[in-house]
A and B are shown apart, each in its own frame.
Chain A
Amino acid sequence: MDGPGIAWYIAVAAVLFGIGALGVLIRRNTLVVLLSLELMLNAGNLALIAFSRHFHNGAGQIFALAVMAIAASEVCVGLGLVVALNRRRLSLDVDRLSELRG
């Protein structure tokens, strides 16, 4: 078993997840928010695969594949929303899309 230990992978995944989460929290552009979401999902994937290698168990890799499929669908929906917003000439700033305010 060569290469870095499991802790390095987890650290990278945690950093990636943190960047993604901060992006979702801070950025207002819808496209960037979607991008950050992808980042978080892939951080999760990285962790799954790292553990899978570590424990010699294929289940984590299968999970990662499933997460990719879900991420793809999510991007479809999200980008579809962005296109729909653009067509109606609405802003892409998530803070201005607040019609659901109670």
Chain B
Amino acid sequence: MTGGSWLCLLAPLGGTIVITLLGTRISRVAAAWIATVSVFVAFGGAVWAFFSLRSQTGHHGEITTAWTWLQSGSFKVGLELLVDPLSTMMMLIVSGVGGLIVLYSIGYMDGDDEERRYFAYISFFVFSMLLLVEGGNLLMLLVGWGLVGLSSYLLIGFWHDRPSAVQAAKKAFVMNALGDATMALAFFILIAHTNSLSFATTFNAHLSSTAANFVALGLLGGAVAKSAQIPLQTWLPDAMEGPTPVSALIHAATMVTAGVYLIARTNPLFEQARTIELLAAGTGALTLLVAGLIALVQTDIKKVIAYSTMSQIGYMFLGAGVGGYANGMFHLMTHAFFKALLFMTAGLAIHALANEQDIRKMRGLGKVMPFTKWCFLAGALALVGVPPFAGFFSKDPIIASTLNIGWYGYVFYACGIAGAFLTGLYTFRLWFLVFPGEPSPFVREHYHDHYGREGAWTMLVPVAILAVLATVGGWIQFPPHWEPITHWLAPVAPSLADAVPSSTQETVTSVVTVLVGLAGIAVAWAVYSERRIAIPAAPTVRRVLENKFYFDWLYDRIFYEPAVATATFLRRDFEDPVILQSGPDLGEATIETGGLVRRLQTGLLRTYVLFIAAGAAAVVLAFLIAR
């Protein structure tokens, strides 16, 4: 069991090190395959860990300690890995979906100048995420957390000759650092109260309600930043500047799902601060609506999908926040399948259209790319939650689980339902704008196939696998009748009793959600395909949505511009006159003083002797008088 977890963790790190050390001595293709194989080896390790954990009675999991990492008095943190139901589930998702994405990158990045660097980064990214989910104590988790931020920075800014990519990378890093900081503060409180960072000790400690609230708030801050929820969501759409497989990796397998994992992992801490946990749910509900609305007006194919990720992570926060951790984790899994699929099919389209991402130019792409079209459709239906696709099974329990927690539950419920409508609308707006119909002149002119196929086989195979998973991946859980994932996660993250809906609630919600989703599709069809309804003009609404609810504008005003103004002020009125001018001033003062003292140096030996004798005489006199 523990062998599997170490193999899973260290294989991608080994891949990074090998690619980095060999450098230009291996071909680009070799570097690509080293990264791919290392991530698939990690998947093998995850499968190994999964099966050995399954054979263990009660499957409570096990912590393995390599060595004591740091010790200070009685406070001690080990280099520990944890194999338990939650971490193995994440290991499987991260390394499995991650492996498919790395394989896809081989075709997508083919011909890029710096492929080796790309593959070194991407296996490092997978390693960081695996460290995050496998870490056996909160400090290891934080280390993985930080490394994920670092590797996302490296990959978003991979095309470092584009200023916009560099900006986006910096933005992502700074936003994430904010979350890292609040998490670290939460850990400091925990150390102060329990003198430990191990899961077992901190989760069983009884904190005062203030401490519990602050700890949960700090953790929530980290989760919100990493998972791009309101108010720290603005980095995610900008992160589309990275290569498409990186977007797929950030959105599906790694990174943004970390927040949901964190809530599920630290659920005992959140349950001591139920208000904060519900705040997480509220954040999710708000984000899923806001992101869904913004997605309606985006014209960049990747940005539509990016906002849809924010929206779906909002669902996961909602699910985990009301206490249905298994629901959140299940949606995380199905989302990993269909979101990776959507990004990869979008990548196929972008790749075949010479890096064009504007959906207004893409009409009729389905004619020339039928495989991409059908795979995208599978992903889109899974996203909207149409049965029997994966999203149907995972999204409905989340919405249904809000019904028993109080009056705000109904608000969350309404948000969830409205979100389902928006999901149908924006997803199929994308679909109707891009795929059906006759190819547009732009598509005819720019479409180029890859030796008669829609892409290299390394790109098509992962897409096909994910299309199958997006279709059948949800069948492993169908609450309330068939719940293997809930049972699997029960030892670590048991759902709260409030968050288990009755059978009737479940059925009604499923029917309503599906109908609402279909209504969204129908509206999208009427507006964007048949054009029977004109797109509503409403310029004010449109402007608000296109400016993403003015979050970026607001942050510019509150943080960026005052910082720049202060910096300019300090430079002009402090640094220039005080610091820069002080150098020459000091020099001149020294020279002047030197000019005065210079006269004493007569060069006459006998004057010096006279001074010495006079000095000695003065000392003797002083001693005589002082006696």
Q: How far is the CA of A21 from the CA of B615 in the complex (A)?
A: 14
Contact count band on B: 10 to 19
Q: How far is the CA of A100 from the CA of B605 in the complex (A)?
A: 10
Shortest Cβ distance from B594 into chain A, in angstroms? 9
Per-residue interface assignment for chain B, residues 598 to 623, with 1 indicating a CB less than 8 Å from any chain A CB and 0 otherwise: 11111111100110010000000000
Tell me if B602 and A25 are in contact (CB < 8 A). no
Known: A102-B598, A102-B599. A95 touches B606 (CB 8 A): yes
A94 at the interface (CB under 8 A from B): yes
Shortest Cβ distance from B602 into chain A, in angstroms? 6
Tell me if A25 and B610 are in contact (CB < 8 A). yes
Q: How far is the CA of A3 from the CA of B604 in the complex (A)?
A: 44
Per-residue interface assignment for chain A, residues 3 to 33, with 1 indicating a CB less than 8 Å from any chain B CB and 0 otherwise: 0000000000000000001001110100001
Tell me if A21 and B613 are in contact (CB < 8 A). yes
Tell me if B604 and A95 are in contact (CB < 8 A). yes
Residues A23-50 near B (CB distance < 8 A): 24-26, 28, 33
Tell me if B605 and A94 are in contact (CB < 8 A). yes
B610 CB contacts on chain A under 8 angstroms: 25
Residue of A nearest to B594 (CB): A102
Residue of B nearest to A28 (CB): B606
Residue of A nearest to B605 (CB): A94
A99 CB contacts on chain B under 8 angstroms: 603
Residues B490-521 near A (CB distance < 8 A): none
Tell me if B601 and A25 are in contact (CB < 8 A). no
A97 at the interface (CB under 8 A from B): yes
Shortest Cβ distance from A97 into chain B, in angstroms? 7
B600 CB contacts on chain A under 8 angstroms: 102
A87 at the interface (CB under 8 A from B): no
Shortest Cβ distance from B605 into chain A, in angstroms? 4
A101 CB contacts on chain B under 8 angstroms: 601-604
Residue of A nearest to B602 (CB): A101
Tell me if A98 and B606 are in contact (CB < 8 A). no
Shortest Cβ distance from A69 into chain B, in angstroms? 22
A94 CB contacts on chain B under 8 angstroms: 604-606
Known: A94-B605, A98-B604. A25 touches B613 (CB 8 A): yes
Q: How far is the CA of A102 from the CA of B599 in the complex (A)?
A: 6
A33 CB contacts on chain B under 8 angstroms: 605
B599 CB contacts on chain A under 8 angstroms: 102
Most buried by B among A21, A26, A99: A21
A102 CB contacts on chain B under 8 angstroms: 597-603
Q: How far is the CA of A98 from the CA of B603 in the complex (A)?
A: 4
A24 CB contacts on chain B under 8 angstroms: 606, 609
Q: How far is the CA of A21 from the CA of B605 in the complex (A)?
A: 13
Residue of B nearest to A36 (CB): B609
Shortest Cβ distance from A49 into chain B, in angstroms? 21
Shortest Cβ distance from B478 into chain A, in angstroms? 98
Tell me if B609 and A100 are in contact (CB < 8 A). no
Known: A21-B613, A25-B613. A100 touches B601 (CB 8 A): yes
Shortest Cβ distance from A102 into chain B, in angstroms? 3
B598 CB contacts on chain A under 8 angstroms: 102
Q: How far is the CA of A97 from the CA of B602 in the complex (A)?
A: 11
Q: How far is the CA of A95 from the CA of B600 in the complex (A)?
A: 16
Residue of B nearest to A21 (CB): B613
Residue of B nearest to A22 (CB): B613
Most buried by A among B598, B599, B603: B603
Shortest Cβ distance from B258 into chain A, in angstroms? 71
Q: Which of B597, B603, B613 contacts A100 (CB 8 A)?
A: B603
Residue of B nearest to A94 (CB): B605
Q: How far is the CA of A33 from the CA of B350 in the complex (A)?
A: 97
Shortest Cβ distance from B558 into chain A, in angstroms? 61
B602 CB contacts on chain A under 8 angstroms: 98, 101-102
Per-residue interface assignment for chain B, residues 50 to 85, with 1 indicating a CB less than 8 Å from any chain A CB and 0 otherwise: 000000000000000000000000000000000000
Per-residue interface assignment for chain B, residues 251 to 271, with 1 indicating a CB less than 8 Å from any chain A CB and 0 otherwise: 000000000000000000000
Residue of A nearest to B606 (CB): A25
Tell me if B604 and A25 are in contact (CB < 8 A). no
Q: How far is the CA of A26 from the CA of B607 in the complex (A)?
A: 10
Residue of B nearest to A26 (CB): B606
Q: How far is the CA of A26 from the CA of B609 in the complex (A)?
A: 10
Shortest Cβ distance from B590 into chain A, in angstroms? 15
Q: How far is the CA of A28 from the CA of B610 in the complex (A)?
A: 14
Q: How far is the CA of A97 from the CA of B597 in the complex (A)?
A: 21
Shortest Cβ distance from A51 into chain B, in angstroms? 17
A95 CB contacts on chain B under 8 angstroms: 604-606
Q: How far is the CA of A94 from the CA of B610 in the complex (A)?
A: 14
A98 CB contacts on chain B under 8 angstroms: 602-605
Shortest Cβ distance from A41 into chain B, in angstroms? 15
Q: How far is the CA of A21 from the CA of B610 in the complex (A)?
A: 9
Q: How far is the CA of A94 from the CA of B607 in the complex (A)?
A: 11
A97 CB contacts on chain B under 8 angstroms: 603, 605
Q: How far is the CA of A101 from the CA of B601 in the complex (A)?
A: 5
Q: How far is the CA of A26 from the CA of B606 in the complex (A)?
A: 8
Shortest Cβ distance from A82 into chain B, in angstroms? 13
Shortest Cβ distance from A52 into chain B, in angstroms? 22
Q: How far is the CA of A33 from the CA of B610 in the complex (A)?
A: 13
Q: Name B residues whose Cβ lies closer than 8 Å to a Cβ of A.
A: 597-606, 609-610, 613
Q: List 15 A-B contacts (CB under 8 A).
A: A24-B606, A24-B609, A25-B606, A25-B610, A25-B613, A26-B606, A33-B605, A95-B604, A95-B606, A97-B603, A101-B601, A101-B602, A101-B603, A102-B599, A102-B602
Q: Name A residues whose Cβ lies closer than 8 Å to a Cβ of B.
A: 21, 24-26, 28, 33, 94-95, 97-102
Seed contacts A28-B606, A102-B602; 7 additional CB < 8 Å A-B pairs:
A21-B613, A24-B606, A33-B605, A94-B606, A97-B603, A98-B602, A102-B599
